[in-house]
Structure 1
Amino acid sequence: MTQKTLPFSNQEIEKIAQEYGTPFHIYDEKAIRNNVRRLQTAFQWNPGFKEYFAVKATPNPHILKLLAEEGAGADCSSLAELLLAEKVGLRGERIVFSSNDTPGVEYRKARELGAIINLDDITHIDFLAKEAGMPEMISFRFNPGPLRKGGNDIIGNPEDAKYGLTRDQMFEAYKKVKDLGVKRFGLHTMVISNELNPDFFVETARMMFDLALDVKKMLNINIEIINLGGGIGIPYRPEQKAVDLEYVGYRIKEVYEEIIIPAGIAPVRVVMECGRMITGPYGYLVTRALHKKETYKNYIGLDACMADLMRPALYGAYHHITVVGKEEQPLDYKYDVTGSLCENNDKFAIDRMLPKIDIGDLIVIHDAGAHGHAMGFNYNGKLRSKELLLKPDGRVDIIRRAETIDDYFATLDFSKI
């Protein structure tokens, strides 16, 4: 069981809502810092371990900066994400650039920053060489296909996923870049997202360590960095259990000592690129009940919509809901909790049992700290909401203002109409 608590009192969040206006996302800085420290401690047995935060999860420079202060790097997949990393002082091998169907300008920026470039396809070798030149170090993304069972609705089964090279292609690719003068080599995979079974990550490490050993045997190439990807899930539902990071770190250490050390290919840096599990549980979408509708069902309409959090509409994902001030009241009303988009799937919850909600009640939607604000959009002319950071001393900083109508119209030239 995971207790769904809030990092502020009812009076504090009401005061914040009155000052800044709803809706907004708010992130708990202290909890995020403690969480990334916990992950790093679980892997401190590996001196080269680094968490490369998946920028796509929460692409805000204030979040990236605080994580960089804790020693984390950045996992980037676009030009904008590379620029965000650069803005907070990350350069060189503190950045991994792991993209797909990549334009030349993005490879050139990654080369300029000295980032570790992780190629998604064997054909990208020639494209990178032509567009940006070959770096000293190259990594390849491995798609195990039928060799690794699993997958889910977010990434899909490995054989159906658009990402990565096959096993045979991996050997061909390493040989090719070695012949092109590459001196250092990395290995990467990412085959799951939002997984709560800790043993999945242990078995992924075993698969990757075995592959690194085969690359050494067949090509006499030493893999310097093994990136196990991210994919560690969070317990969105109260009945779910969070992944035991200490268990994952200890068990991967055992597999490392079983495979890597006896093979004589140590040291190998083990790294990860977690996003969701770092910030997800410590971000909240705060909104107000704006309308109540009673037809064939009972609806509560919020001043937020799926432009603020689209996971429920996109994946049918569950996000826990707290009605502020009514935490102890019985859950004896069934509601669809909705937004204002002209789309019937603009719903945060369907047939959810909640306490009686009145217009004006403050609603907190949990676990919105990753893939929440980041996935916002402007359909129906909806404007993305602001982001706030709850500081360890209780202060609140605004780290992204809300969009305005002027922002929405900024790319249009009305003078030509």
Structure 2
Amino acid sequence: MKELEKISRPVYREQLIQLSNKYGTPLYIYDSYQIKKQYIKMKNAFSCIKNLIINYACKANTNLNILKFLQKLGSGLDTVSIQEVELGLKAGFHPKKIIFTPNCVSIKEIKKAVDFGVRINLDNLSILEQFGEDFSDYSVGIRINPHIMAGGNSKISVGHIDSKFGISHYQIPHMKRILNNTGLKIEGIHMHTGSDISDIKSFLEGANILFKIAMDFPDIDYIDFGSGFKVPYKKNDIKTDLISLSNFITEKFQSFCKDYGSKVSLIFEPGKFLVSESGYFLVNVNVIKHTTSTVFAGVDSGFNHFLRPMFYDAYHCIENISNPNGRLRFYTVVGYICESDTFGFNRKIAEIREGDILCIKNAGAYCFSMSSNYNSRYRPSEVMILNGKDFMIRKRETMQDLLRNIIEIQI
């Protein structure tokens, strides 16, 4: 980890308290140290692969400054919308270091990606045929559906037989017919089976399918494994065994390249793996409310800012950083949205008082990027810790932001 010596060490409780006082709450904080640490960890794990490409899956967190930081580290970019493509270009990524892998978008959006000159993965036969008719000289990748059920839960499993993502590997003959009819060239084979995958058997099964399919296409430049690596959300939590996975993938990939007879790049597209643990979400306790069976800690945020617990039943560690040595008690931490709105149920937390600051961890991925203005609440500020200094990288919204695109008519 010598490459980490050039930047500051991780943030600590005292610094989080200072930042909550400086910027107010609710507040997202991202630690660049942790992002770089994860990036280097992945590079080192697959260091035996000379043509390794790491593309950050930017849907996890699209703040322009996060993109610029990863671009400086040498990362490429995985995008799923034309807007993410434009953000990537604005952040300084070369078009050929951006891969656009959309799902259920129109051919018009894909044509815009052609105009930008980025790499494109297509994932359905209809669009493949339309694209081949118009852009037969623009090589593309193909997203394969391997029919593998993987991921932390059904909402984040995207490679099973009933998934809307990818072209079934049983439809390869149909796909080849389209390629022959249009003259379209294939430059890569792509797969992504899900998120929060702890059992590497899912990766291994997918790898065998992908390498077998790739042998049928003589002129590919890359094989893209997507991602889905699980990160720990609590103490002693399970996570993807990156070393065991890299040992298997490296051996299989090197064997494939030898049989294939030419150099091919191996691509991974980590999102959560790179940025999840870098994020802290700070909230202020508005009220402690006792009912007949529960003690609620109500905070100045809700699922409008932090959707994952309600949407995915995701667990996020919650700590009372204002009173870390307080007596441990049980609380259900809830938000201020007029719906069921729970961050954590029946959690053992150091005694919480009104006015305390709570820290919700693993807030770097799929948190702010999934936020909304539900209940007409403002979205919060974002701060980045870079080289020991804090920088606001997104201002807190105001009423002006809520009204910005409203057009009033005479009623």
TM-score, normalised by the number of residues in structure 2: 0.92
Q: Which position in structure 2 is the counterpart of 1:29?
A: 32
Q: Is the 8 A contact 1:229 1:273 kept in 2?
A: yes
Q: Deviations over 1:148-205 (max 9, x none)?
A: 3434323336012111111232343244235533344210111121112234323322
Letter paired with 1:255: K
Partner Cα separation in structure 2 for residue 242 and residue 144 of structure 1? 23
Letter paired with 1:234: V
Q: Which position in structure 1 is the counterpart of 2:191?
A: 189
1:38 aligns with 2:34: no
Q: Which position in structure 2 is the counterpart of 1:407?
A: 401
Q: Which position in structure 2 is the counterpart of 1:92?
A: 95
Q: Deviations over 1:217-245 (max 9, x none)?
A: xxxx3332110011111111223133332
Q: Pairwise mapping of residues 2-401 of structure 1 onto structure 2 (< 5 A)?
A: 7-129=10-132, 133-145=135-147, 148-151=148-151, 152-156=153-157, 158-213=160-215, 215-216=216-217, 221-261=218-258, 263-296=259-292, 297-331=294-328, 333-344=329-340, 346-392=341-387, 394-401=388-395
Q: Which position in structure 1 is the counterpart of 2:5?
A: none
Q: Is the 8 A contact 1:153 1:315 kept in 2?
A: no
Partner Cα separation in structure 1 for residue 410 and residue 275 of structure 2? 44
Letter paired with 2:244: Y
Partner Cα separation in structure 1 for residue 379 and residue 137 of structure 2? 38
Partner Cα separation in structure 2 for residue 347 and residue 233 of structure 1? 23
| Aligned Cα root-mean-square deviation (Å) | 2.0
Q: Is the 8 A contact 1:155 1:161 kept in 2?
A: no
The worse-fitting range, judged by mean Cα deviation, of 118-127 and 170-179 is: 170-179
Q: Give the 3 Å change call, closer, same or farther, for CA 135–317 of structure 1 in structure 2.
A: farther
The worse-fitting range, judged by mean Cα deviation, of 56-65 and 295-304 is: 295-304
Letter paired with 2:103: N
Q: Is the 8 A contact 2:10 2:33 kept in 1?
A: no
Q: Give the 3 Å change call, closer, same or farther, for CA 402–104 of structure 1 in structure 2.
A: farther
Alpha-carbon deviation of 1:325? Answer: 4.1
Alpha-carbon deviation of 1:317? Answer: 0.8
Q: Give the 3 Å change call, closer, same or farther, for CA 203–340 of structure 1 in structure 2.
A: same
Partner Cα separation in structure 1 for residue 323 and residue 77 of structure 2? 39
Q: Is the 8 A contact 2:198 2:238 kept in 1?
A: yes
Alpha-carbon deviation of 1:19? Answer: 1.0
Please give the secondary structure, in 2, of the residue aligned with 1:243: coil
Partner Cα separation in structure 2 for residue 200 and residue 328 of structure 1? 42
Q: Is the 8 A contact 2:307 2:371 kept in 1?
A: yes
Partner Cα separation in structure 1 for residue 12 and residue 43 of structure 2? 30
Letter paired with 1:362: I
Q: Deviations over 1:302-355 (max 9, x none)?
A: 112111110000111100011104334442x221101111111x1100111112
Letter paired with 2:171: Q
Letter paired with 2:219: N
Q: Is the 8 A contact 2:319 2:350 kept in 1?
A: no
Q: Is the 8 A contact 1:196 1:235 kept in 2?
A: no
Partner Cα separation in structure 1 for residue 241 and residue 372 of structure 2? 34
The worse-fitting range, judged by mean Cα deviation, of 197-206 and 278-287 is: 197-206
Partner Cα separation in structure 1 for residue 400 and residue 17 of structure 2? 29
Partner Cα separation in structure 1 for residue 199 and residue 385 of structure 2? 31
Q: Is the 8 A contact 2:27 2:383 kept in 1?
A: yes
Q: Which position in structure 2 is the counterpart of 1:3?
A: none
Alpha-carbon deviation of 1:84? Answer: 0.5
Q: Give the 3 Å change call, closer, same or farther, for CA 369–241 of structure 1 in structure 2.
A: same
Quick one: percent identity of the two aligned structures?
A: 28
Please give the secondary structure, in 2, of the residue aligned with 1:247: helix
Partner Cα separation in structure 2 for residue 126 and residue 65 of structure 1? 35
Q: Is the 8 A contact 2:221 2:263 kept in 1?
A: yes
Alpha-carbon deviation of 1:391? Answer: 1.2
Q: Is the 8 A contact 1:222 1:265 kept in 2?
A: no
Partner Cα separation in structure 1 for residue 138 and residue 128 of structure 2? 13
Please give the secondary structure, in 2, of the residue aligned with 1:160: coil
The worse-fitting range, judged by mean Cα deviation, of 195-204 and 156-165 is: 195-204
Q: Deviations over 1:23-53 (max 9, x none)?
A: 1111001220121122122223222211111
Q: Give the 3 Å change call, closer, same or farther, for CA 44–179 of structure 1 in structure 2.
A: farther
Letter paired with 2:277: P
Gaps of 5+ in 1: 1-5
Q: Is the 8 A contact 1:144 1:166 kept in 2?
A: yes
Letter paired with 1:410: R
Letter paired with 2:170: D
Partner Cα separation in structure 2 for residue 128 and residue 416 of structure 1? 45
Moved over 6 A (4+): none
Q: Which position in structure 1 is the counterpart of 2:3?
A: none
Gaps of 5+ in 2: 1-8
Q: Is the 8 A contact 1:298 1:336 kept in 2?
A: yes
Please give the secondary structure, in 2, of the residue aligned with 1:285: strand
Q: Is the 8 A contact 2:315 2:344 kept in 1?
A: yes
